[in-house]
A = this chain, B = another copy of it.
């Protein structure tokens, strides 16, 4: 019998191969895809909604919502007038390619400039699964603490963009989140990654993040 680690390797390798199929498909339709990962409650849905609102004149979006249970997030996204597809994993702690592919089938990709995948709220497991996205974006929210980069290094080292969300909490008297510590540490373990500090709730920093994303989307769209 294969060891558990060997089986895990096989699963990850199969998934990485299948991710190539998604890349091919997105290349054909010229669609840019973002895999958004974070802890529960870091503000994934709020960040998506804030960015989409900022770019609604320039970019057509669709959102794939990954959840273990419930339709809470896809309902929020649909209420904002954005195309949304829900994946319910029924227990699984991350999304993989076989879950994302049928969700993509439900979208009109040629008329979609950018697909956001909202992954399961989890700083660990999603980092291991290549979904064929153009961009791996992670959110760390201020109330979680800057030390998370020491504790969950894989996510911080594999992402292309780190969004520090809930920046409004930095103003609280009780705040001890050290943005400088985080950005210095990020430079050391992942020097290529972009870092944005935003408040999806109050709007600060959202225009900068959105403008940068628009450039990436248009560069692929041509």
> Which B residues are CB-close (under 8 A) to A169?
143
For A151, give its contact among B68, B152, B153, B172 (CB under 8 Å).
B68
A69-B150 in contact (CB<8A) = yes
How many copies the complex holds: the figure is 2
> Which B residues are CB-close (under 8 A) to A174?
168, 201-202
B152-A68 in contact (CB<8A) = yes
A41-B168 in contact (CB<8A) = no
B124-A68 in contact (CB<8A) = yes
A83 at the binding interface (Cβ < 8 Å): no
B151-A72 in contact (CB<8A) = yes
* Among listed A50-58, A102-110, A115-123, interface-contacting one: A115-123
Chain A positions 138 through 161: 1 when the CB is less than 8 Å from some CB of chain B, otherwise 0: 000101110110111110000000
A70 at the binding interface (Cβ < 8 Å): yes
A70-B4 in contact (CB<8A) = no
Chain A positions 63 through 80: 1 when the CB is less than 8 Å from some CB of chain B, otherwise 0: 000011110110000000
For A125, give its contact among B70, B93, B166 (CB under 8 Å).
B93
Give A15 Cβ to nearest chain B Cβ, in Å.
12
For A124, give its contact among B93, B144, B202 (CB under 8 Å).
B93
Given contacts A39-B39, A70-B151, A174-B168, contact A93 B121 (CB under 8 A): no
> Which B residues are CB-close (under 8 A) to A1?
2
B123-A122 in contact (CB<8A) = yes
CA distance A87 to B74 in the complex (A): 37
B121-A154 in contact (CB<8A) = no
Given contacts A143-B169, A144-B41, A174-B201, contact A67 B151 (CB under 8 A): yes
> Which B residues are CB-close (under 8 A) to A91?
154
CA distance A198 to B150 in the complex (A): 26
For A123, give its contact among B72, B121, B147 (CB under 8 Å).
B121
Which 4 A-B pairs have CB atoms at the shortest separation, nearest pair first?
A41-B144, A93-B124, A143-B143, A70-B150
Beyond known contacts A69-B152, A143-B166: 7 more, CB 8 A cutoff: A7-B7, A40-B123, A70-B147, A70-B150, A93-B93, A93-B124, A121-B148
